[in-house]
Amino acid sequence: MRVGAETETGMSRLSLSDTDKQARDWFHETCTGLGCKVNTDAMGNQFAIRPGLSNDRPPTYAGSHLDTQPTGGRYDGILGVTAAVEMLKVLNDNWVETNYPVGVVNWTNEEGARFPMSMVSSGVWAGSIPLEKAHELRSVIPANDPATMKTELQRIGYLGEVPCSWEATPMAAHFELHIEQGPILEAEDRRVGVVQGVQSYKWFTLTVKGRDSHTGATSFQHRADALLTASKMILASHKIAAKHSALASTGILGLRPGSTNTVPGFVQFSLDIRAPQDETVNAVEAECREAFSSLAAGENVLSINDGCAPSSRTCSVEWRTDFTSPATHFHDNCIACVQAAGSDLCSGSSSSQVQGKDIGAWGKLMTSGAGHDSVYANKRCPTSMIFVPCRDGVSHNPTEYSNPEACADGANVLLGAVVRYDKMRGERGT
């Protein structure tokens, strides 16, 4: 048995399922037992609040989510919540009195696996997603499930009476511990990632239309092959993104008619474009739009047609923008608290001196490639994140694993960051 194999049982805790109810019950009972008041809002978000010396200001929060992918791991989101609950226990065990309240949050349906809108409940809290739209989301697991978010919140007893809004449940700050979900920290032997923001991304659906025809009776010259054209577009997106140091990916592809001896006349595929800056994503999109139109018309773009047989027939291409998430830049004070806590833990120094991207061998300043609830929290309060390494960068998979030492590092940095932020608030009276 290799190291960590005993944890590789995976986790399937879909949002608002019976197992999610069990986890929510554990959260409520554990935090109540630690002396916290636990509130639940209209999206099922749970907020545990530990009183401070002064309770006339909003809490400093830590947290993440407890729901998983259908065949997920045991760390994505879960580490951030359990470490935040452990933070409460450490504060109690050491009789630490914070200047202001400290809270822990469990956000609902971050994954968007069962109800297909990721980070939906933090989005409602931030005022970016209407409550009615979120409540009406239909379950997609299992297929043809008639349940909605609202009916399932009612069924498991977590449709809270508190309005889901940043006004009803204000936060002074939001800190989120998470596994990296990528290979960089492990590859560079870094213990902690200090997350400065989340990269920009856009999702599109492309529809390519050609003409169905017989594979044996139609020469290359007379084909309008939608699949061949779409494949050239996908390759073009890769080349264009690489030129801009961005990312472009296709994860969904469908075609018609789907017969071995028929040239496809209809193809749809997804396109995901990501980069740290909005301007870069927009540039990649613009170049892809131009290149795709040229490829549909049979023109040679980026030498993609080299070696291919010419055709007298052309295809058409249509774009649909499905989702846009602008780049998120976290708050300097929160980033500084995470960095100081990491430096103090890993190097014995709380110096915040930064030279470029080098903060010492222990850590790395990073931009998250994936979306998190912190994206929406950042719209309403100062926010930052902490990353710890995960083996081979694997996530959303039963083999997802972060060793106990890495989990402890993350939990300690989370605690240190929250305490530092509370101290800063006390000094400033904010």
CATH number at residue 269: 3.30.70.360
CATH number, domain at 112? 3.40.630.10
Closest CA to 330 of 384, 372, 369, 380: 384
Q: Tell me: do 208 and 314 sit in the same domain.
A: yes
Q: Which helix (H) or strand (E) holds 30?
A: helix 18-33
Indicate whether 185 and 53 sit together in one domain: yes
3-state secondary structure 105-141: EEECCCCCCCCCCCCHHHHHHCCCCCHHHHHCCECCC
The separation between CA 202 and the C-alpha centre of its own chain, rounded to angstroms, equals 13
Q: Is residue 267 a contact partner of residue 254, using CB atoms and an 8 Å limit?
A: yes
pLDDT beneath 70: ranges in the chain: 1-8, 349-358
Residues 6+ apart with CB under 8 A from 278: 200, 326, 327
Q: Enumerate the β-bridge partners of residue 271.
A: 204
Q: Are residues 182 and 232 in the same domain?
A: no
**Other C-beta atoms lying within 10 Å of the C-beta of residue 228:** 21
Reduced to 3 states, what is the DSSP secondary structure of residue 78? helix
Do residue 296 and residue 313 come from a single domain? yes
Q: How many helices (H) and strands (E) are present in the chain, helices listed first? A: 11, 16
pLDDT at res. 355:
42
Residue 348, pLDDT score = 73
Q: Does 134 share its domain with 185?
A: yes
Cβ pair 179, 395 in contact under 8 A: yes
- DSSP letter for 59, please: P
Task: Based on the fold, state whether residues 408 and 420 are members of the same structural domain.
Answer: yes
Kindly state whether residues 215 and 290 are assigned to the same domain. Answer: yes
Distance (Å, whole) CA 415 – CA 423: 12
Do residues 21 and 155 share a domain? yes
Q: Which pLDDT belongs to residue 8?
A: 60
Whether residue 195 sits in one domain with residue 208: no
State the Cα–Cα distance between residues 16 and 290, nearest whole angstrom. 43
Of 325, 347, 373, the residue that ends a domain is 325
Nearest to 374 by CA among 428, 420, 419, 335: 335
Of 325, 347, 365, the last residue of a domain is 325
Are 176 and 215 part of one and the same domain? Answer: no
Q: Is the dihedral of CA 304, 305, 306, 307 positive or negative?
A: positive
Q: Which range of residues forms the domain containing residue 277?
A: 200-325
Q: How far apart are CA 237 and CA 307, in angstroms?
A: 19
- Of 67, 171, 187, 61, nearest to 119 by C-alpha is 67
Total domains in the chain come to 2
Domain boundary among 307, 325, 343: 325
Reported pTM: 0.86
- One domain, residues 389 and 407: yes
* Domain shared by 146 and 222, yes or no: no
Alpha carbons 238 and 247: distance in angstroms, whole number: 7
Q: CA 74, CA 396: separation in Å to the nearest integer?
A: 9
Residue of 142, 108, 101, 105 whose CA lies nearest to 124:
108
